[in-house]
Structure 1
Amino acid sequence: MVRRRVPPVTLALIAIGLVAGGLWWWAVLRLLLVPGEAGPVEGAVAAGGWGLSLLPVHVAASSRRPGASARSVTKASRRRRWGAGSAPS
């Protein structure tokens, strides 16, 4: 079995994500279970996390081919794969 080292930056990002997710769940559960004692901080954390969850839906790339209906200003070139031969011109 091969053991691979995980970079410290990746571990830190995972830890930050878990802490942020835990804080969001804490705020949501506090708002649901004891709404009279929950303050504006819990509301802001819950609303902010909910808003961030919608972000990938609105920022997702279009599935249309570039240039199908509107011409793009720049085109990305494809990387050549070794042994794949030449690309069609």
Structure 2
Amino acid sequence: MAGMVRWGAALGLGTLWWWAALRLAMAPDAGVVEGAIAAGGWGLSLLPVHCVPKSRAAGALATGRWVRAWRAAGVTTASPHPRSDAGSDPS
């Protein structure tokens, strides 16, 4: 039942927004009401409504991950760069 209410509300509000946007674009007597509905609907579309807390997000990185990575930066398995006085390898 709650899903039907959500879909009905989304469909109704979406229809209202499209009516206001089309009326603003095509009707010469469109006014403040249509402008407020269109601007409000556009503003709501910018809200991050699908956000969840980081602790519940799937695939979220742990807090402090970058700090641990920077602290471990001295540990490497790569060979060191040659020194300038080491000379060149005979080829």
Structure 1 unmatched ranges of 5 or more: 1-7, 71-89
* Structure 1 residue 56: Cα displacement: 2.0
Q: Match of 2:25?
A: 32
Q: Which residue is equivalent to 1:14?
A: 7
Cα deviation, 1:33-54, whole Å, max 9, x if unaligned, reads: 11x3111110011001111111
Report how many aligned residue pairs link the two structures: 61
Q: Percent identity?
A: 46
Any idea what SS the aligned residue of 1:22 has? helix
CA distance in 2 between partners of 1:12 and 1:64 (Å): 32
Equivalent position amino acid for 2:7 in 1? I
Structure 2: tracts of 5 or more residues without a match: 68-91
> Is residue 46 of structure 2 the alignment partner of residue 54 of structure 1?
yes
What is the aligned-residue RMSD (CA, Å)? Answer: 2.5
Match of 1:65 in 2: 61
**SS in structure 1 at match of 2:62:** coil
Q: Which runs of 4+ in 1 moved over 2 A?
A: 59-64
Code of the residue aligned with 2:61 in structure 1: it is: R
